[in-house]
Amino acid sequence: MAKIIVIEIGKSIVGAVIKHLDRPYAVVSYPREVHISEFKKIVKEAYQKINDALSSDESDNEVWLVLSGPLALIFQLGQIIGTDMSNVKVLQYYNGEYHILPSITKDELE
C-alpha cells in the first residue's frame, strides 16, 4: 500500500483517514487557524515529509496526499511538488470514501 501523508490545517482529519484508509506514514498537523506568515514553514515541513516518504528504502514509493487547509497554502505546495513527483497522488473525500484524483497534464488542457 502507498504511504499516506496527511496535511491538516484548521481542523483534524487524521481520524477519518485512519477510519477509511489506514494509519498515515506522516502527518503535518496545525489544527488551528494559521497565519499567512506560517505558510512557508508548513509547506517546507510537508515537502520534507513527502521527500522522506519517496526516498525511503521500502519497495512501495507511491505517496497518497490527503489535504485539508487553506487553498492558497495547498496551491503553494502543489507548485513546489509540480509534476516532477509523478508517484504522488492526491486523494479527495467524496460520497463517503477517499478517491485518488486522476492526473492532469498541461498537454491535456490544450
> pTM here?
0.91
* Average pLDDT for 56-82: 89
Cα 73 to chain centroid distance, Å, stands at 11
CATH of the domain at 43: 3.40.50
Residue with cell string 477510519: 19
In 3-state terms, what secondary structure has residue 50? helix
Q: How do residues 74-104 score in pLDDT, each as one tens digit?
A: 999 999 988 667 789 999 999 999 999 998 8
Residue with cell 484524483: 101
pLDDT digits (tens, 9 = 90+) for 21-43: 999 999 999 999 999 999 999 99
In this structure, of 26-30, 54-58, 66-70, 74-78, the range with the lowest mean pLDDT score is: 54-58
Site of grid cell 500500500: 1
Q: What share of the chain is helix, strand, coil (3-state, %, to 5)?
A: 40, 25, 35
Cα(66)–Cα(29) distance, integer angstroms: 12
Task: State which residues form the domain around 25.
Answer: 3-109
Domain count within the chain: 1
